[in-house]
A and B are shown apart, each in its own frame.
Chain A
């Protein structure tokens, strides 16, 4: 195990963390601001990826597909908001759970009916399809750097939006006391719609950006959903900063856990059991982390103020 490898694994961990943030950003916004448990977030992520694949087939160009898919994802999200979600604001969390669960069932299967059950692929844009040499024999796709950049841009953009703009102020106020804000003359329904649409677009954006390195298949959002919830819960629901920190933390813990758990365990046990116990612990690692964090900080690491 060389120092260079450790450094590379740290880089991998941070990159995975930024990926996780990109995935979780939209969820924490919607959940935090609107107190709305959106289990359908995973399928919105999936729909974004599928739309991109479909538009790529039409345009043959990644960026055109990206733009078109984002727009379509936004429209789709707004449609869902209008039809279903709008009636669920202020209702019990359980009702939200069941309704969004129903949407998951519907969309996972609808997607399969439309696009088939076989996994699909979205090619990277040519301009970013190169690689840089990370170490002897290992290349690092430029696209992953693009994803990191996108994630950081989203983080910065959201932070500025929420903390330093009027819209962001309205959003935070609406989260704290919707009725008061409405009484002050702000159309709270329209505000929530904007926030939700934005969250949907973020979900779709994450799906599209990640599709070139992952497979696009029905049900791809289900495991993502759990990961996203773990991130926002550890970070503190509603906190962009919390989600960012939590995502990086989880990315590092998960990646370093997978890379070195076996080596660490080998110090205390025989190689053969270490090889299988290591990954078992690695898969539990993020849940253990969440349990530990919540034990000491029941509202996450950076709970959003006013909650």
Chain B
């Protein structure tokens, strides 16, 4: 596993060479071109599908920060999506429909929850950490299902997407698509910078050997908490985008199965690469979407595919690409 990480181009965090920038550049190029392609082939739903991919990619990138670089496997990240989404939903139901208020509230709610639960969770390690993050995710889920004035488990329809200082900038699907794209780009760039910074190096060092970092003099737990809180806040952004995109919020956004799917996405793409998070989210959602049109029993195919990827494609899809490059002798 360690070998796989250091063999991937972006393992060091910083985009060191032009080669490292190829994959993200290509990803964002494709994403930018999707609306034009959709318009040209008269397939408007492609914009909806890709928007959904990008929304989950934001969450996946944020999750990769703590899982791939921090070594903290959070099984409750869907809770942050839910908190961000419900911030939008509740504010909208109370008459506040401006993104300039809803977005900070969404991120703040997620950040606060991450901070409080992080303090408790980070006292544990390994499987215990996984379970306690799951526990907090479940608690928020049950709170949401009992919010009767906001639909409970039926969910809450949002009258209209948020306006920005009064302007309906999110109204058109295509415009909102670009908003989501910008959010993903910003999240990605921020996480890249974070991972390459001193903070990121401490985090990664703690993942490899926490006691060594503590001996050197770092307060490991504090660094991990900050990383966890940042990740939670960014995932709240994902929730804000999801609520606006679907114009609906529901406790189903924060079930433990969703948290599990996020983890699968980043493993699928390649842990600890950030690019992998985006590719993994895309691959998972596209597979789900495409396979389900082929057959109702698509999970019977998808399940074994996941198993095969784990067994034979270490490092996920990005790892596959790297090995492909290696075989061509282009990698030193």
Q: Do chains A and B touch in the complex (CB under 8 A)?
A: yes
Q: Please indicate the chain B residues that have their CB under 8 angstroms from the CB of A103 in the complex.
A: 303, 307
Is A226 part of the binding interface, using a Cβ–Cβ cutoff of 8 Å?
Answer: yes
Q: Please indicate the chain A residues that have their CB under 8 angstroms from the CB of B305 in the complex.
A: 102
Which residues of A (258-307) have their CB < 8 Å from a CB of B? 276-277, 280, 283-284, 287-288, 290-291, 294-295, 298-300
Is B125 part of the binding interface, using a Cβ–Cβ cutoff of 8 Å?
Answer: yes
Complex CA gap A31/B127 in Å reads: 10
Is A139 part of the binding interface, using a Cβ–Cβ cutoff of 8 Å?
Answer: no
> Are A109 and B142 touching (Cβ within 8 A)?
no
Complex CA gap A79/B64 in Å reads: 33
Is A128 part of the binding interface, using a Cβ–Cβ cutoff of 8 Å?
Answer: no
With contact pairs A106-B300, A109-B297 given, residues A294 and B306 touching in the complex (Cβ less than 8 Å): no
Is A37 part of the binding interface, using a Cβ–Cβ cutoff of 8 Å?
Answer: yes
Contact residues of B: prevailing secondary structure: helix
> Are A98 and B310 touching (Cβ within 8 A)?
yes
> Are B300 and A110 touching (Cβ within 8 A)?
yes
> Are B267 and A105 touching (Cβ within 8 A)?
no
> Are B302 and A233 touching (Cβ within 8 A)?
no
Is A229 part of the binding interface, using a Cβ–Cβ cutoff of 8 Å?
Answer: yes
Is A175 part of the binding interface, using a Cβ–Cβ cutoff of 8 Å?
Answer: no
> Are A290 and B131 touching (Cβ within 8 A)?
yes
Is B268 part of the binding interface, using a Cβ–Cβ cutoff of 8 Å?
Answer: yes
Q: Interface extent on A, as a size class?
A: 35 or more
Is B132 part of the binding interface, using a Cβ–Cβ cutoff of 8 Å?
Answer: yes
> Are A95 and B310 touching (Cβ within 8 A)?
yes
Q: In the assembled complex, how far is the CB of residue A33 from the closest CB belonging to chain B, in whole angstroms?
A: 13
With contact pairs A101-B264, A287-B138 given, residues A294 and B303 touching in the complex (Cβ less than 8 Å): no
Is A104 part of the binding interface, using a Cβ–Cβ cutoff of 8 Å?
Answer: yes
A residues with CB within 8 A of B = 31, 37, 84, 87-88, 91-95, 97-99, 101-110, 112-113, 222, 226, 229-230, 233, 237, 276-277, 280, 283-284, 287-288, 290-291, 294-295, 298-300
Q: 11 other contacts beyond A106-B307, A233-B132, A298-B124, with CB at 8 A cut-off?
A: A84-B311, A102-B304, A102-B306, A108-B299, A112-B297, A229-B134, A233-B127, A233-B128, A237-B127, A284-B139, A284-B142
